[in-house]
Structure 1
C-alpha cells in the first residue's frame, strides 16, 4: 500500500505490519472496529451481539453476530495475523447453533446488546428500520438453513481457503476478508479486502445460490402478509380507478406494503401505505442526491402551514437528517389485517391521496423548475 505525496508527485510505501508487533488485540481492537463499522465488510450489516455464548450445553462464544439485509444471521469470526487451522470448523459450529434461533430470541439477543453496549434502544424497531419493514409481523429472521459466515484474518492457511471454496460450491455463503495493518510515521492504516470469493465472482456465486433458493421458495406458500397485501391492493386499485384517479390506471397490485406513483418530479413519489395497524399517505423524497432531497424538503417546510392547510390537517414532517431521503406523511389507525376494515381503509386512502396531491402539486411544480436550473446545488 502506498501514500501519494502530491506536492512531490511521488509514492511513499506504507510499512506492512503485524498486529502482534503493534500490540493490537483481537477483541479489544479488531472486533471493536468491526462492531462500530460493519459496513467495512462491504455491505450493510446490523451487529446484534458480540462475544455471544448463548448456546445450550456449551460455553463456546462467537466473535460477532449480525443480520444482513435479508434477515439472515451472519457469524463473523476474527483472527489477527494467522487464521489458524480450525476457524472454519468453529464458524460452522456457531452457524449450526444459530440455525435454531427464533425471531423472538434474536430480538432478545439484540436487546441485550443494546442495553449492555449502546445505552439501550428498541431492538424490534431498529430491526424493522434496518430491514425496511413497517411492522415486526412482516419481518422474517433467520429463515431456513441459510446462515452466513465471514472470516477475517491477515493470512489464511490453505486448509481454510480450500474449505471455504468447498462450502461456496455447496451453496453456503462463506467469505474471507484479508485485514492488514500498515503504518506511516505515527499513523495507523488498515486494509480490509474480500479475497474469497473475489468481488468479481461473488455476485455470480451468490446469484446462483439465490436463484436456487428462489425456485424452492416459489414452490411453497407465500407468507400470509404477502397474500393479504396482494388482495388488498387488488381491491384498492379497483376502487381508486372507479374514483377517477387516472395515475393508478397502469399500476399493478403487489405484495409490498406500499404502492407508489409519480409526482412529476424525478425521485419524488406519492405513496399509499397498507400496514397491519394503520393506513398512510405520504410524499417521499428519494432522489439519488441527499443534498437535493434535503433542499426540496427545506423549501416545502418553509411553506408548511400553507401546505397543511391545503391538505386539511397537520401532517407528520420528517427530514430524517441521518438518511438520504425525507418524507411527509399522514396516517390513521386501522386493523389492517382484518378484511372487514378494508372498505373503510380504501375509502380513507382514496380521499387523502387526492388531498395530498392537491396540496403538494403546485409547490412541487415550482421546485421542479428550480431544480432544472441547478438551484439545489448552489
Structure 2
C-alpha cells in the first residue's frame, strides 16, 4: 500500500505491520472496529450481538453475530495475526447452534444487545427498517447461516478446509486484515481473499442452480425470482439510457438494489408505502455526513426540478437518508405495480434517478472528501 503525496507528485510506501507489535487486541480493537463499521466486509450488515454465549450447555462464545439484508444469520469470527488451526471447526459449531434460532429469539438477542449498549431503540423496528419490509413479512434465519472470518494470516489447513466447504455449498468468506504504518500514522486494509470477489457471484450462482429449494415457501420463492427479474430489467434499461450506475451490481432477491459511493449508497427501493430512490448514509450515528449534506439542502433542492426531496435524519438510528419517493398508486394505480406493470415502475426509476444522482453526487463526494 502506498500513500499519495500530492505536493511532491510521488507515492510513499507504507510499512506492513502486525497487530501484536502495535499492541492491538482481538476483542478490544479489531472486533470493535468491525462492530462499528460492518460495511468494511463489503455489504450492509446489522450487528445484533457481541460475544454471544447463549448456547445451551456450552461455555462457548462467538465474536460477532449479525444479520444480512436477506435476514440470514451471519457469524463473524475475528483473529489477529494468525487464525490458528481450529477456527473453522469453531465457526461450524457456532452456525450449527445458530441454525435453530427463531425470529423471536433473534429479536430478543438483538434487544439485549441494544439494552446493553444503553440504546433506547426497539430491535424489531430496527430490523424492519434494515430489511425494508413490513412486519407481516418478518421471517429471520430461514436460509442457511453464513460464516465470515477476519484475520491477518490464514494457515493452509484453514484455507484448504474453507475451499472444500465452499464446494459443498457452505456460505463462507475470508477477509485479510492488514495494518500499515508510516511514522505515527496507522492504516487498515481489509480485503476479501476467499472467494475472490470476481468469482464469488459465479460460485454462488452455480451452487444455487444445483440446490433445490428446501425450506422456502412457494410464495417466497416466487417473489425472490420476480425481484431478481425486476432488477435485471432495471439494469438493462439503465444501460439503454447510458447510465452505468448498476453495471457492477448483481441483482439479488431483495426489495432494494444499490451501489456504494463514498460512505453511502445510491439505491432503488420497493418500500412499504411506495417506490423511492435514495442516498442511504449508513453508520452515521453522529449524523456528521447527513448534517454536512444538509448545509447544501437549499442548493440541492433548487437544482432538483422533480419535486421535494425528503431529508430523514433518523435521530436515534445509526443511519440517515435523503430520498425522493412516490406512492405506488400515483405511478401505476396498483400497490403491486412492480409485479403487474414493471415497465412503468422501471421507467419512473430511470426518469427520477438520473437527475437525483446528478444533483446529489457532486455535493456528496465533496462532503466525503472534506470529512475524510
Query: TM-score normalised to the size of structure 2?
Result: 0.66
User: In 1, distance between residues paired with 2:176 and 2:138?
Assistant: 33
Q: 1:182 to 1:120 in 2, by over 3 A?
A: same
Where do 1:65-104 residues align within 5 Å?
65-104=65-104
The reply to whether residue 222 of structure 1 matches residue 214 of structure 2 is: no
Q: Which residue of 2 aligns with 1:320?
A: 312
How far did 1:130 drift?
0.9
The reply to whether residue 141 of structure 1 matches residue 140 of structure 2 is: yes
The reply to whether residue 209 of structure 1 matches residue 201 of structure 2 is: no
The reply to whether residue 41 of structure 1 matches residue 41 of structure 2 is: yes
Q: Which residue of 2 aligns with 1:53?
A: 53
User: In 2, distance between residues paired with 1:40 and 1:298?
Assistant: 31
User: In 2, distance between residues paired with 1:30 and 1:63?
Assistant: 10
Q: Which blocks of at least 5 consecutive residues in structure 2 are unaligned?
A: 224-252, 257-265, 281-289, 314-319, 338-347, 364-372
Q: Which residue of 2 aligns with 1:26?
A: 26
Q: 1:302 to 1:116 in 2, by over 3 A?
A: farther
Instruction: Please identify, of 119-128 and 202-211, the stretch whose mean Cα deviation from structure 2 is larger.
Output: 202-211
Q: 1:300 to 1:155 in 2, by over 3 A?
A: closer
User: In 2, distance between residues paired with 1:20 and 1:269?
Assistant: 43
How far did 1:8 drift?
1.7
Q: Which residue of 2 aligns with 1:5?
A: 5
Q: Which residue of 1 aligns with 2:198?
A: 200
Q: 1:320 to 1:84 in 2, by over 3 A?
A: same
How far did 1:222 drift?
2.1
How far did 1:138 drift?
0.1
User: In 1, distance between residues paired with 2:173 and 2:197?
Assistant: 10
User: In 1, distance between residues paired with 2:160 and 2:71?
Assistant: 28
| Structure with larger Rg | 1
Identify which of 145, 150, 155 aligns with 2:153. Answer: 155
Q: What RMSD over aligned residues (CA atoms) do the two structures have, in Å?
A: 4.4
User: In 1, distance between residues paired with 2:276 and 2:98?
Assistant: 37
Contact 1:73 1:148 in 2 (8 A): yes
User: In 1, distance between residues paired with 2:87 and 2:267?
Assistant: 48
User: In 2, distance between residues paired with 1:224 and 1:4?
Assistant: 48
Contact 2:179 2:188 in 1 (8 A): yes
Q: 1:64 to 1:268 in 2, by over 3 A?
A: closer
Q: Which residue of 1 aligns with 2:243?
A: none
How far did 1:6 drift?
2.1
Q: Which residue of 1 aligns with 2:125?
A: 125
Q: Which residue of 1 aligns with 2:168?
A: 170
Where do 1:301-316 residues align within 5 Å?
none
The reply to whether residue 186 of structure 1 matches residue 184 of structure 2 is: yes
Q: 1:257 to 1:191 in 2, by over 3 A?
A: closer
User: In 2, distance between residues paired with 1:270 and 1:149?
Assistant: 27
Contact 1:177 1:196 in 2 (8 A): yes
Q: Which blocks of at least 5 consecutive residues in structure 1 are unaligned?
A: 227-254, 259-266, 308-316, 332-348, 354-363
How far did 1:137 drift?
2.3
User: In 2, distance between residues paired with 1:22 and 1:155?
Assistant: 16
1:216 match: secondary structure:
coil
Q: 1:185 to 1:301 in 2, by over 3 A?
A: closer
Q: Deviations over 1:327-349 (max 9, x none)?
A: 46699xxxxxxxxxxxxxxxxx7
User: In 1, distance between residues paired with 2:255 and 2:12?
Assistant: 53
1:325 match: secondary structure:
strand
How far did 1:15 drift?
1.2
Q: 1:298 to 1:159 in 2, by over 3 A?
A: same
How far did 1:82 drift?
0.4
Where do 1:204-283 residues align within 5 Å?
204-213=202-211, 215-216=212-213, 220-223=217-220
User: In 2, distance between residues paired with 1:44 and 1:157?
Assistant: 28
User: In 1, distance between residues paired with 2:171 and 2:9?
Assistant: 42
User: In 2, distance between residues paired with 1:130 and 1:268?
Assistant: 14
How far did 1:300 drift?
11
Paired positions, count: 290
How far did 1:208 drift?
2.0
